[in-house]
Amino acid sequence: NEKGRLDAACLYTAGLCGVNEVYAMGGAQAWAALAYGTESVEKVDKCLGPGSKYVAAAKRLLSDVLNCGLPAGPSESIILADATPDPVDIARNLLVEAEHGSDSAALLITDSELLAQEVSKKLSELGDNLPEPRRTFVADVMSGYGGILIVKDIVKGAELANLFATEHLQIRTADPFATLGLITNAGEILLGDNVPFSAANYSVGANAVLPTGGNARTWSGVSVGDFKKRSSVVYLSESGLENLRSHAATLAGYEGFPAHQRALIDWTAAGKSGR
């Protein structure tokens, strides 16, 4: 926090997980320290996690010296709904995402004008009852990166959702599994009326470090695989290379690499002379 103190719950949880090294720092400057190293912070090769718009900018600037993983900036969400869900519940879920900060995005895309009208009314009522600074955050989001879009049908709504490629996508239709087949770009997809954004953030086990800013088109959420890497290991027997080398030599010659080609053509003589 502003006094340089670490959150007690985070420290306790880190201890349970076996973490034995914790730095009291955050923000863009923390990423810079990890990228370059300081007298008290050891340089690292890879660092993953979300952050503010300043952290997102820092990650882009540091990408040549640090593997920053997926782009994960301010929170964003879309609810894709038909006329079936409860408008109060839809409004509550929009507030869940909007209260993150003024630079968050919280959108409802629906083919029901009636649902849109009812949700709009409930947003004002419920948002005004939030304490500060969350109330101001919600007002900023709903007049900025948030709002309600009315579309011709759910197919068109899915097209818009795919174009946005949101971090969190909630599908609230009569048949969410059928609607799921229309979605190609989203960091996280929550199906049906029983998976509120809050549950996904805290308790269902899905990773909450997800791509933002349209990057769900090419990125997935953080997983164990992000902490692993692979090396190609190749062994060929003499007969194995003998079967391949003429084809490889042809490709090398076509691409204009004579040394590559010569090494393959002369392999037998060179190999035997070295014995």
> Which of the four pLDDT bands, split at 50, 70 and 90, describes residue 273?
very low
Q: Which residues are catalytic?
A: 167-168
Q: How far is CA 231 from CA 48, 107, 227, 234, in A?
A: 21, 42, 14, 10
Q: Is residue 117 part of a domain?
A: yes
Q: Is residue 68 part of a domain?
A: no
Q: Is residue 3 part of a domain?
A: no
> Which of the four pLDDT bands, split at 50, 70 and 90, describes residue 267?
confident
Tell whether 103 and 165 lie within a shared domain: yes
At 272 the pLDDT is: 54
Tell whether 208 and 249 lie within a shared domain: no
Tell whether 44 and 93 lie within a shared domain: no
Strand partners, 78: 107, 169
Note the pLDDT tens digit of each residue in 47-71: 998 888 899 899 999 999 999 998 8
Count of domains for the chain: 3
Q: Which residues contact 267 (CB under 8 A, 6 or more apart)?
A: 241, 245
The tokens describing 69, both together, are 């993983």
Q: For residue 170, give the H/E element and its range.
A: strand 168-172
pLDDT higher than threshold 70 for residue 2 = yes
Q: For residue 191, give the H/E element and its range.
A: strand 188-191
Tell whether 56 and 89 lie within a shared domain: no
**Cα angle for residues 111, 109, 151 (degrees, 5° grid):** 40
Mean pLDDT for all residues in the chain: 93
Calpha distance 121→114 (Å, rounded): 11
Average pLDDT over residues 129-149: 95
Tell whether 88 and 200 lie within a shared domain: yes
Q: How far is CA 243 from CA 236, 258, 273, in A?
A: 10, 20, 20
At 208 the pLDDT is: 85
State which residues form the domain around 268.
232-274
